[in-house]
A and B are shown apart, each in its own frame.
Chain A
Amino acid sequence: MTNVKNTITMNNNIISTDHLTKIFGKFTAVNAISFEVRKGEIFGFLGANGAGKTTALKMLTGLLMPTSGVATVAGYDVRKNPDQVKRRIGYMSQKFSLYEDLTVRENIRLFGGIYGLKMTEIRSKTTDLLQKLQLEPEADKLVGSLPLGWKQKLAFSVALLHDPQIVFLDEPTSGVDPITRRQFWELIYEAAAEGVTLMVTTHYMDEAEYCDRVSIMVDGKIEALDTPRAMKAGFQATDMDEVFRKLARGE
């Protein structure tokens, strides 16, 4: 256990947990989960409502102390160095987007400042980002006036602003139209191709197929972890929806 950090560097794992557990009163929300995520991987983190995904994510992002067990993220122990972890990760949730009453440009500047980027860096990143998202004409519009899909794309790009090693995406495409949903996934692919590791939760089972590997949580435990292909073969299922149903409800 003492040399977890060394093992990680050797294995090229960017997230590593060992019997990670969180107990609230009498309720065990996360029950001794042990798994690894590799550098540059798109990792799907699936599970039914109440299976413990959000609690696990909060521990991995340094927002919640584990009750027991170990988690190392980007080379740092989430219990001992939560601040170091936070510096190296990005996070995008379905609910919190950006400040709706600030413009696109102001949001980028604000978050760049929070992440401690220099003004020159912020300026060049703003130009790159606006160009990549084709948002130049919208740069000085309030974020609140943008369509949901654009907001989510912008929020993702802002989560990448400080060049994090890992980005956590919590249901990033919920309620988004089918075209924008796919454009969003192309941004995810692009980030992965540049070496960023992505951990994604989703209720769209077709999106589970876009991941390199997925894990499925049931009642606080990781009940399956594999490539979507191997998982479907193992469960003799035609799609991930069926795998999910078989696992989560023992159908």
Chain B
Amino acid sequence: MIQIDHLSKSFAAVQAVKDITLSVEQGEIFGIIGPDGAGKTTLFRMLTSLMLPDSGSASVVGLDVVKDYKQLRQVIGYMPGRFSLYQDLTVEENLGFFAAVFGTSIRENYDLIAPIYSQIEPFKARRAGALSGGMKQKLALCCALIHKPEVLFLDEPGTGVDPVSRKEFWDMLGNLRKQGLTMLVSTPYMDEAELCSRVALMQKGEIMAIDTPKGITKAFQMPLYAVRSDNMYQLIKDLRTLDGMADCYAFGEFAHLKMLDTATPAKDVTTRIIGFLQAKNHRNIEIKPAAPTVEDCFIELMRN
């Protein structure tokens, strides 16, 4: 559904997108995972025909993003990162406006948006600017869907949104996927990678890895341990001086410790580390082997 070939874009001295190649299949939720400045928004703008690439090519539903931009815009939906609806129009007016622009009506495609729109319908006479963050997001999603697009582009829908609203939003995307919609979603939240069919990890304009979330974590080769003690700051500092340490960083309630040696059994490693930490006066030490997450992999790829 989306085909990207050696796509590049620069702004003055900054290469925002560097030679990106990837393809997205029908019915996927494909995640572009990366921090601010990774080039996610620039990539989205080129794919939605809002910006011209410097080199390379891309097509969406078989339509070239440069040559066929007029037809392309009819078949895609785009929810930009910044709230871009009319703040001084009501909920219903905004939706009606977007439907009209695409030559359709709310009624015609109501089924598609019903599960989402029904949640904000009680407030349909309210101005969009007066909605809460979560409701604005739902309205923006309805407006991006009202013309029944084949591919939906969502640029950082979760940024600045609390964890509860984020989860609700992903539930909605899951439902849309069941109806066959193809989606490209960007996010700086690594934990959201698990909710995608496949992901591309992006940093400084480049893709560091493309795979299923499972495939990404499988590529993490070195042994990983979760360690904690009463003084986490000192713990991380001390672990960084441990023999055989490859990397150590905070990870939620634990510190993640990556070891170089893959041959030594975990039991022997943990015994050695406990001894090391006891000698440094750490208390309430806990250590266990940890399964790497997408975030661990992102950190590893960034370090290389």
Contacts and interface: CB of A to CB of B under 8 A. Distances in A.
A209 B253 CA distance: 5
Given A148-B37, A177-B35, A245-B167, A203 B253 contact: no
Contacts of B190: 178
Given A49-B132, A179-B303, A193-B233, A210 B250 contact: yes
A239 B252 contact: yes
Interface string B236-274: 100000000000011111000000000000000000000
A48 B162 contact: yes
B163 A245 contact: yes
A48 B253 contact: no
Interface in A213-241: 228-229, 239-241
A178 B299 contact: yes
Given A186-B233, A193-B233, A206-B252, A176 B164 contact: no
B159 A182 contact: no
B163 A178 contact: no
Interface of A: 47-51, 147-149, 171, 174-180, 182, 185-186, 189-190, 192-193, 203-206, 209-210, 228-229, 239-241, 244-245, 248-249
Nearest to B187: A175
19 contacts: A48-B162, A49-B165, A149-B35, A174-B159, A174-B188, A175-B159, A177-B38, A178-B35, A180-B35, A182-B249, A189-B232, A206-B252, A209-B252, A210-B232, A239-B252, A244-B162, A245-B163, A245-B167, A249-B164
B27 interface: no
Chief secondary structure at chain A's binding surface = helix
Contact of A244 (B38, B164, B232, B236): B164
Contact of B162 (A180, A203, A240): A203
B32 to A, nearest CB: 14
Interface in B283-300: 295, 298-299
Contacts of B35: 148-149, 175-178, 180
A178 B298 CA distance: 8
A232 to B, nearest CB: 8
B36 A248 contact: no
B242 to A, nearest CB: 17
B133 A175 contact: no
Contacts of A203: 160-163, 166
Range class of the B interface residue count? 20 to 34
Interface of B: 34-38, 132-134, 159-167, 188-190, 203, 232-233, 236, 249-253, 295, 298-299, 302-303
Contact of B203 (A50, A174, A177, A204): A177
**Best-surrounded residue of A47, A51, A178, A193 (most CB of chain B within 10 A):** A178
Contacts of A190: 233
Nearest to B254: A209
Contact of A174 (B133, B134, B160, B163): B160
A185 B251 CA distance: 11
Nearest to A176: B35
B163 A244 contact: yes
**Best-surrounded residue of B160, B163, B250, B251 (most CB of chain A within 10 A):** B163
B3 to A, nearest CB: 28
Contacts of A179: 249, 299, 302-303
A241 B161 CA distance: 13
Contacts of B38: 177
Contacts of B203: 177
A204 B50 CA distance: 31
A175 B36 contact: yes
Contact of A178 (B160, B252, B302): B302
Contact of A241 (B34, B134, B163, B303): B163
Nearest to B164: A248
B302 A50 contact: no
A154 B252 CA distance: 24
Nearest to A183: B249
B232 A49 contact: no
Given A182-B250, A185-B250, A48 B299 contact: no
A248 B166 CA distance: 13
The 3 tightest CB contacts between A and B, nearest first, are: A177-B35, A175-B36, A189-B233
Contacts of B295: 178
A245 B303 CA distance: 33
B165 to A, nearest CB: 6
A48 B137 CA distance: 14
Contacts of A50: 132-133
A192 B132 CA distance: 34
Contacts of A241: 163
**Best-surrounded residue of A190, A192, A228, A241 (most CB of chain B within 10 A):** A241
